[in-house]
Amino acid sequence: MIDFEALVSGVMQPLERFVKFRVGNLSDAEDILQEVLTAAYRGAETLSDEVMFKPWILGIARNKCNDYFRAKAKRMELPLESLDETALTTGIHGVTTRTVVHETLDRLGDTDKQILYLSYFKDLPQSEIASRLGIPVGTVKSRLHHAKQQFRELYPEKPKGETVMKNERKFMPEYMPDYQIKETEGAPFAVCWEEIMGWFIVPRLGEKLSWAMYDFPKRKRTEQCDLEVMGRAEVHGIEGVEIETVEYDPMDCNRIDGADVAKRRFVAQLTDTHCRYLAESHVEDGVKKLFTFLDGDEFLQSWGFGKDNCGNETHIAPKGLIRKDGNVVMTAKRPFMLDVVGRYAVQINGKTYDTVCVIDAGAYEEGVVTEQYLDRNGRTVLWRRFNRNDWMQESYKRPWTELLPENERMTVDGETYVHWYDCISDYIL
């Protein structure tokens, strides 16, 4: 006889994460979890191998979530019959698939958009639509048929096979362009920042980007990364997009099998409030390794961000958690501190950008502070990293003031931080 309580205890965290990430309403998610546990308890004796308990109970959870969305679909009536219940999947941090639906509708002509809205959102009979628009019922039928065809052609389909990025390297400048940063008058503006944390690309279909890292004081390029969104992807029922990356001359911590070129794939999710990683995969020693948001600390320590991997907020404005005065920074000393600290003109590569400076004070990694200058489009113009003087001293053996004596200093809550490297992307080139 299996020890049901012990088995449940071992999988409860990923089980909760699975359901709550799929179902945006936390009260509904709790109800579904109870249904899952009840169904699992009743069927536990049919499980022949306890090793299979986790995928077995997650399968029950997936079915219960699908039942929830089917019931919801019947109540709310999906906009087009060709979409399944995932069109209602909002998740704990905002809408995903619904955004794709509405973006597709926005690309249609006014006539097509109008007829679909009246038919599928308002659920009006064709006779009523004809009366409202002052056209014959036969015209309504033909317009509706045409509009549905147009929608299906524009709606992004899942890739039918594995797509491969064309590895045509776009060389970033060998040396970091000169730049000037000047604080300007006026209040910092709020900005919609949809880039995935640490990789500068927006996880949206059609996006492509190259960025490079430059060590100081030499200012020479040390690493370059080319990224491209390959198509839609789904991880444990959560929809996002797959991003292929090729890293040239990566840092030691990013190398795979010691090679000078590292390739990996991410699945990332952009909602109307957050942006986060769902999975990472790469081939190591001839074995393809995959890590997902359900893998707990093993995933979160490398790719997660925010509490329970909620990701970074996309709509950011000053919160008063971090203050910057020249190279002196004071923080509220809270977990996951990321804040807008001022407005700056960044002159780089012959252009001047009106930006806000976003400081990450240990949110992504303890002992590391970054400055990220975002323009009004929410794109990174310049990213700068500072290490606490004792950061990774067990590996580097000396404090950073000795390792990089010429580099800029920053004082954060009374401690010394040293400028290490900068990043720019082809967005500014």
Tens-digit pLDDT profile for residues 226-266: 999 999 998 887 889 999 999 998 888 778 888 889 999 99
CA distance 187 to 414: 26
Write out the residue limits of the CATH 2.40.360 domain(s) in the chain: 179-428
Write out the residue limits of the CATH 1.10.10.10 domain(s) in the chain: 87-154
Report residue 339 as tokens. Answer: 């804040």
CA distance 369 to 132: 59
Class of domain 87-154: mainly alpha
**pLDDT score of 80:** 42
Establish how many alpha carbons lie within 13 A of residue 340's alpha carbon, considering only the half-sphere containing its beta carbon.
22
**pLDDT score of 155:** 65
CA distance 54 to 252: 35
Of 86 and 112, the structure prediction assigns the larger pLDDT to: 112
| 4-76: CATH architecture | Orthogonal Bundle (1.10)
- pTM of this prediction? 0.70
Q: Output the 3-class SS for the chain.
A: CCCHHHHHHHHHHHHHHHHHHHCCCHHHHHHHHHHHHHHHHHHHHHCCCHHHHHHHHHHHHHHHHHHHHHHHHHHHCCCCCCCCHHHHCCCCCCCCHHHHHHHHHHHCCHHHHHHHHHHHHCCCCHHHHHHHHCCCHHHHHHHHHHHHHHHHHHCCCCCCCCCCCCCCCCCCCCECCCEEEEECCCCCCCEECCCCCCCCCCCCCCCEEEEEEEECCCCEEEEEEEEEEEEEEEECCEEEEEEEEEEECCCHHHCCCCCCEEEEEEEEEECCCEEEEEEEEEEECCEEEEEEHHHCHHHHCCCCCCHHHCCEECEECCCCCEEEECCEEEECCCCCCEEEEEEEEEEECCEEEEEEEEEEECCCCCCEEEEEEECCCCCEEEEEEEEECCCCHHHHCCCHHHHCCCCCEEEECCEEEEEEEEEEEHHHC
Q: Nearest-CA neighbor of 375 among 189, 176, 173, 208?
A: 189
CA distance 152 to 147: 9
Tens-digit pLDDT profile for residues 300-353: 777 888 776 788 899 999 999 999 999 999 999 887 789 999 999 999 999 999
282, 263 contact by CB (below 8 A): yes
**pLDDT score of 374:** 97
Tens-digit pLDDT profile for residues 56-111: 898 899 888 888 877 765 554 444 444 444 444 444 444 444 455 666 776 777 77
**pLDDT score of 242:** 96
Tens-digit pLDDT profile for residues 357-382: 999 998 778 899 999 999 999 999 99
User: Under CATH, what is the fold of the domain 179-428?
Assistant: YmcC-like fold (2.40.360)
224, 249 contact by CB (below 8 A): yes
Strand duo 409-412 + 328-331: pairing: parallel
Report residue 127 as tokens. Answer: 């006779």
